[in-house]
Amino acid sequence: MSAPAAALPLPSLGQRMPGLILAIVVALVALGLGRLMPLVGGPVFGIVLGILIRNLVAPGVQFTPGIQFAGKQILQWSIIALGFGLSLNQVAKTGLESLSVTLVTMTVAFLAAWGLGRALKVRDKLKILIGVGTAICGGSAIAAVTPIIKPDENDTAFAISTIFLFNLVAVLLFPLLGHLLHLSDLGFGLWAGTAINDTSSVVAAGYSFSKEAGDYATIVKLTRATLIIPVCLVLAFAVAWREKKKGSTDFSLRRIFPWFILWFLVASAIRTAGLVPATMLPAIHVLAEFLIIVALTAIGLSANLRKMASTGLRPILLGLGVWAAVSISSLLVQLVIGQL
């Protein structure tokens, strides 16, 4: 019986530097463009610029270790940094008020992703990414589950691009529909906060309707974002069960467990306890945003556009169907419980 192959040594810092520098430089450009066009946002510019560079210039193999590091480790650091900006006390009251609608829309999103994904024959991991991104918080949710389910970089890029497309549609369409439906400020805020994916898009749509709607929608959205924690834990246990069922011996729950989610909770608890000076919060927010941009830029730099194109329109149709199901179910639940 042959001896097992030795594990490959991890790349050194020097080997990672070329790819890290490339991702950081492109991310800085994306951050600046996001400031100029906040409706699009730095993370989307990051992944788009990364995809363009990957498919027009094709960086050499010396960039690969750093790009992979940015797309995985820095991705996890960005989620931890986000925890410092989320006070659990701040969102508790609004969270309880919106919890019933949020839970229904999340359930609808996952069921729609599963059912439509099977009908459209979309790959399992891409279904999960689109379902999680639509159900919870767009690119941030996709970023959080990526280290757990380990999808292909092209699936991650495709999912984020699909989510962004419907974020943009929602920003333009939701305020108009809200006025046509004669929604109240709180009714529209709850609708936007539970049915639009990305935080920046929720803010844009909410404040386009009214200041009160924008304030309420933002808190609902932040509360909804915390649900990524139990979702990540469920996915981790599901992956563990599947590997055990396959009889894999090279597997342990300890290794796959999303420890960065626990550190996210620690960061949030520190923020809630008031141990972070208020003067530092803006800088922490910028750091978290930039780390996400660096990570998504790296994912873009890993994405093969030809392979993505071979996927066709089915993932976009899946994203459309899930987004429509979430938007309609949010309004229906509010109608049933008398919150419209």
Q: Is residue 3 part of a domain?
A: no
> In 3-state terms, what secondary structure has residue 196?
coil
Q: How far is residue 84's CA from residue 102's CA, in Å, rounded to a whole number?
A: 23
Q: Is residue 301 part of a domain?
A: yes
Q: What pLDDT score does 136 carry? A: 81
Q: How far is residue 40's CA from residue 160's CA, in Å, rounded to a whole number?
A: 12
Q: Is residue 5 part of a domain?
A: no
Q: Is residue 82 part of a domain?
A: yes
Q: How far is residue 326's CA from residue 76's CA, in Å, rounded to a whole number?
A: 27
Query: Mean pLDDT per segment of 10 residues, for the chain of length 340 residues?
Result: 47 87 94 82 81 87 89 78 71 66 87 91 87 81 80 80 77 86 90 81 78 79 76 80 65 57 78 83 84 83 70 82 91 80
Q: How many CB atoms lie within 10 A of CB 18?
A: 18
Q: What pLDDT score does 325 carry? A: 92
Q: How far is residue 221's CA from residue 208's CA, in Å, rounded to a whole number?
A: 16
State if pTM tops 0.85: no
Q: Is residue 4 part of a domain?
A: no
Measured torsion, CA atoms of residues 258, 261, 266, 267, in degrees rounded to the nearest 10: 130
Q: Is residue 10 part of a domain?
A: no
Q: Is residue 8 part of a domain?
A: no
Alpha-helical runs (H) found in the chain: 13-36, 42-56, 64-83, 88-120, 124-132, 138-149, 153-180, 185-195, 199-209, 211-226, 228-245, 253-256, 259-272, 281-302, 305-309, 314-337
Q: What pLDDT score does 1 carry? A: 38
Tell me which residue range forms the domain holding 151.
16-337
What are residue 258's phi and psi, to 5 degrees?
A: -75, 75
Q: How far is residue 290's CA from residue 306's CA, in Å, rounded to a whole number?
A: 28
Q: What pLDDT score does 5 carry? A: 41
List Cα–Cα distances, 171 to 12, 13, 131, 218, 292, in angstroms: 44, 42, 20, 14, 22
User: What's the structural domain count of the chain?
Assistant: 1
Question: What six digits make up the tokens of 57?
Answer: 């210039």
Q: Is residue 201 part of a domain?
A: yes
Q: What pLDDT score does 89 carry? A: 67
